[in-house]
Structure 1
């Protein structure tokens, strides 16, 4: 039997708010981080590393905001495997990019990166992911799980005007992430003391020189960093419940959406 459960992202939001993070704080997006279609086409990066939002998690987009809908993770059996991810390189505007990376690497905690906006200068940041584990559900199994969800609870939660519904098909977690800056950029933007201060404000961060400068975040357990979503479509049936089909996410989707209350991705 399908069972509705509270999304872990809702619980994470309570922790997020209880740490004193202002509700109006803008969290990173795939576009602001410059990590669209990484590690592969159709993948997106979470706003912050998360324990929740496993394959089978259902969410909606309305008015540019991510809203959790429900959870079908218990109805899918994800396979897990260790993988190696390529280094990603992001080159974007200086201030906005550094603030986005600062928020991501501190997991959204109220640590103010404080880099001034500057649309004329660009900074290069390399992302390295270690201890990566991929959780994957087949499209057939996921489709059957969402169909069971609709057959059990009806389609009212997945059929609201003005909303697009998604389900997470795969996710990648990691035990460590490293953001690397070149010596040239660190000197040009006077970043050494500011990145060191960011690391000093979060005991889980390490700042070190290693053929450039590295800001390293280690996690006590794997945290989900990236996800592969699919769009949920409901096709009217002559009788009974609608038929569920899952489709690929368009290239322009989920690039600049912000979490609403109860969602952290």
Structure 2
């Protein structure tokens, strides 16, 4: 079975999986990533975890088509409950909100025993994930931002280590870098301009709507939004200057 049509997003996630690792893919989306890791001989063993019956059956069917069924296990369960402590070296969680990813990690902490690497792709709320790393002894070691089908994705990779290391000696505060991404900022990734440009447009629209309101609290909210827009403008200015 070939995976020429696997998405750029999943291929990028796969590129962060250590060669020969035992990998758990939580919320496996039909086990496409898990299958790719086996077919490309990246992982030595994969666990595809699914909560709902439909995706679970789809993942079973997908793995069944491979000639590597002895190296794969499809399991039905909530989050990290499908993994036993010490069973895997790497955990992938992709395609859901940052809040949900953090909740899965928080509730499954004891099951991360023996896990050396986390590869996470939140659709939103990247800041929440970076903050969880810091609070739980994980060091952000790599970041990617990519665009596919008009959607921007960020991939965050962490290992156990010096939690504050990526944020030290930078020209932005830690709080800012939790939002932007320290490695993305360091590289001045071109897609950051697109991401924060979209954010600016979003806040502009909210401000425009609030300006039509005569509620007293609207004025206070407008001030907060203007402060946010000013901050984004500062980020965009720096990115623009570095581009030049």
TM band (smaller chain)? under 0.3
The answer to which structure, 1 or 2, has the higher relative contact order (CA under 8 A, 6+ apart) is 1
Question: TM-score, structure 1 length as denominator?
Answer: 0.21
Greater percentage in helix: 2
* Greater share of strand: 1
